[in-house]
Structure 1
Amino acid sequence: MAELVYRPVIGFAKTLFKVWDLKIDCQGSENVPRSGGAVLVSNHISYLDFVFNGLAALPQKRLVRFMAKESVFRHRISGPLMRGMKHIPVDRKQGETAYAHALDSLRSGEVVGVFPEATISQSFTLKSFKSGAARLAQDAGVPLIPMAVWGTQRLWTKGHPRNLKRDHLPITMRVGEAVEAPRDQYAGAITRRLREAVQEVLEAAQRAYPGRPKGLEDSWWLPAHLGGTAPTVEQLRAAEAR
């Protein structure tokens, strides 16, 4: 089936990457299967993560159908694009509809992209994972592909202004080996293994990342355990409680 929207959008995104002069380092794309269904699972630190997740699958000639909040599909600009690229709207009040849609896509051989943290992590560390990705993989009989992005928070993330200037920012992506999801195993146990796998590739991406803060004011994008000034999980919880 012709991809009348997705492929032009990919071309536009690649042009933007050149204009922004992003230094993209992606390894592990061979772990995305060349055919058949799979659930691509990533950390979530930026509004642009899905763009780079999709980029990581391109060497395998795969187009990823992302699960995204339903409000994005109602936007006058992003809505037609999201529908044209066959992404999957998620209404949190009626999650079973999105689940069924994603399951149909997986069974038809598509790669479905999921952010199991559900929202952007403002600490830039992994939050707890929802079990939906594991359950989808179990029900569809497909593997889970762990992935991590790093550096995207410096472009556009929650609580900070967008930085879409030509700043030569590095973006690092790592894709790990598949995590199997047997139907006879507890989804919670698979989710724990999945989170460990994403944590592993996240740490690999962070170790490989060439960018360093220019000073204290520029260290906002680094988590506290790496010497940055991003809020910790505990600080975020305290702020929410207040």
Structure 2
Amino acid sequence: MAELVYRPVIGLARTMLKVWDLRIDCRGSEYIPRSGGAVLVSNHISYLDFVFNGLAALPQKRLVRFMAKESVFRHWLSGPLMRGMKHIPVDRSRGETAYAHALDSLRSGEVVGVFPEATISQSFTLKSFKSGAARLAQEAGVPLIPMAVWGTQRLWTKGHPRNLRRSHTPITIRVGEAVDAPRDQYAGAITRRLRERVQELLEAAQRAYPLRPGEQHNAWWLPAHLGGTAPTPEQLRTAEAL
């Protein structure tokens, strides 16, 4: 089927990445299957994560159908693009509809992108994972492909002004080996194993991330345990409870 919207959008995205002159380090794309369904699972630290998740799949000639909140599909600009690229709207009050849509896509051989934290992590550490990705993989009989992105929060993230004019920003992407999702296993156990794998990839991406001398000290985009000033998960939970 012709991709009358997705491929031109990819071309535009590639042009913008060149204009921004981002320093993208992507490794592990070969773990994304060249054919057949798969659930691509990533951490979530930026509004632009889906761009770089999708970029990692291009060497395998795969187009990722992302699950995204339904409000994005109502926007006058993003809505027609999201529908044209066959992404999957998620209305949290009717989650079964999005689940069925994603399942159909997987069974037809598509790669579906999922952010199992469900929202951007403002601590830039992994939040808990929802079990939906594991259940989709189990029911569709497809692998889970873990991945992690790092550096995207410097461009545009929750609680900070977007800085899309920032040039030369390093972006690190790591994709890992598939995590199996047997139907006879508890989805919660698969989800825990998947989260552990994403955590390993995130730490690998952080270790590989180039930092200028002194840049690590008090950087807002670094989590507290790496020397930055981002709020800790505990601080965020306390603020949400107030």
Superposition TM-score tier, normalisation by shorter sequence: over 0.9
1:1-242 map, 5 Å? 1-212=1-212, 214=215, 216=217, 219-242=219-242
Query: What TM-score do you get using the length of structure 2 for normalisation?
Result: 0.98
Q: Tell me: CA distance 1:215–1:25, structure 2 relative to 1, closer, same or farther (3 Å).
A: closer
Encode CA deviations 1:47-100: one digit per residue, 9 max, x unaligned.
000000000000000000000000000000000000000000000000000000
Query: Would you say the 8 A contact 2:175–2:201 is kept in 1?
Result: yes
Matched AA of 1:181: A
State how far apart, in whole Å, the 2-side matches of 1:211 and 1:100 are.
43
What's the CA shift for 1:167?
2.2
Query: Would you say the 8 A contact 1:169–1:211 is kept in 2?
Result: no
Other structure's SS at 1:9 match: helix
Give ranges in structure 2 of 5+ residues lacking alignment: none
Query: Would you say the 8 A contact 2:216–2:222 is kept in 1?
Result: no
State how far apart, in whole Å, the 1-side matches of 2:185 and 2:82 are.
34
Matched AA of 1:45: I
Q: Tell me: CA distance 1:83–1:123, structure 2 relative to 1, closer, same or farther (3 Å).
A: same
Matched AA of 1:56: A
Identity in percent: 88
Other structure's SS at 2:220 match: helix
Other structure's SS at 1:96 match: helix
Query: What TM-score do you get using the length of structure 1 for normalisation?
Result: 0.98
Q: Tell me: CA distance 1:116–1:215, structure 2 relative to 1, closer, same or farther (3 Å).
A: closer
Give ranges in structure 1 of 5+ residues lacking alignment: none
Encode CA deviations 1:147-196: one digit per residue, 9 max, x unaligned.
00000000000000111114210000000000000000000000000000
State how far apart, in whole Å, the 1-side matches of 2:32 and 2:211 are.
27
Which consecutive aligned stretches of 4+ in structure 1 deviate over 2 angstroms post-superposition?
211-217
Q: How many residues matched?
A: 241
Query: Would you say the 8 A contact 1:150–1:172 is kept in 2?
Result: yes
